[in-house]
Amino acid sequence: MESGIQKSNKEYFEMLVKQNMKQAYFTALGFVGSHDAALDLSQEAFIRAYKNFSKFDKKRKFFTWYYKILKNLCLNFIRDKTHKRENHFLEFDNETLRSDNLSEKIENSELISIMEQAIEGLDGDEREIIILREFEGHSYKEISEILNIPIGTVMSKLFYARKKLGEKLRSKV
């Protein structure tokens, strides 16, 4: 006998969680910059989604609906100044890591740290669009659906977010 959660609902929801957990975790990580907080917030958002599952229109993409819950939780977390920020949420991809040159490695780790600080310095909206496009690799159309804005606005927001990121990077170098 299944305890707590009904079986059919549980199996369907489990499938949705497993399909979306990586995307959920990485989105939260981009917002809050800490592994523990990203894990906790992305799981909490799934729990809230489960509690409100009757409101979910099954014709729509689950992540688009779930994203709103996750975003609210992440923004509340960021607003709460009592949380200790970790600031280690980026790494180089495998190609870049292959370098054997020590000074290059040091330069790379400095660049990571500068980029993390620059991203943390962006507003929630700017950070959001950078995460979705540059780190999560969503298409413009997907971002437009998730944020419920036209594709042209997605492109323009991305342009200004990158521009601000450039300014932040310049001020830190």
Partner 1 sequence: MINEKFVVLMEKYLSNEISNEEKKEFEEMLSSDSNLKAEFEEQKKIKEVLNKMKLKNPSREVWDSYWMGIYNRIERGIAWVVISIGALIFFGYASYEIVNAFIKDTQAPPLAKIGIAMLVFGGLILLFSIIREKIFTSKRDKYKEIQR
Residues that bind partner 1 (CB under 8 A): 3-5, 10, 14, 17-18, 21-22, 25-26, 29-30, 35, 39, 43-44, 46-47, 50, 69, 72-73, 75-76, 79-80, 88-93, 95-96, 111-112, 115, 130-131, 134-135, 140, 152, 155-156, 158-159, 162-163, 165-166, 169
Find the shortest distance in angstroms from Cβ 133 to partner 1.
9
Q: Which one, 125 or 166, has the nearer CB to partner 1?
A: 166
Q: Which one, 10 or 85, has the nearer CB to partner 1?
A: 10
Q: What does the alpha-carbon distance between residue 68 and residue 53 come to, in Å, rounded to a whole number?
A: 13
Find the radius of gyration of the CA atoms of the chain: 18
Q: How many CA atoms lie within 13 A of 63 on its CB side?
A: 20
Residue 38, token pair as written in the block: 């990203």
Residues 6 or more apart whose CB falls under 8 angstroms from that of 108 comprise 92, 96, 99
Q: What does the alpha-carbon distance between residue 131 and residue 161 come to, in Å, rounded to a whole number?
A: 11
Q: Which one, 47 or 106, has the nearer CB to partner 1?
A: 47
Find the shortest distance in angstroms from Cβ 135 to partner 1.
5
Find the shortest distance in angstroms from Cβ 62 to partner 1.
14
Tokens 């199996």 belong to residue: 11
Contact 80, 112 (CB under 8 A): no
Residues 6 or more apart whose CB falls under 8 angstroms from that of 23 comprise 63, 136
* Residue 166 one-letter amino acid: G
Find the shortest distance in angstroms from Cβ 108 to partner 1.
8
Q: Which one, 3 or 148, has the nearer CB to partner 1?
A: 3
Find the shortest distance in angstroms from Cβ 132 to partner 1.
12
Q: Which one, 10 or 61, has the nearer CB to partner 1?
A: 10
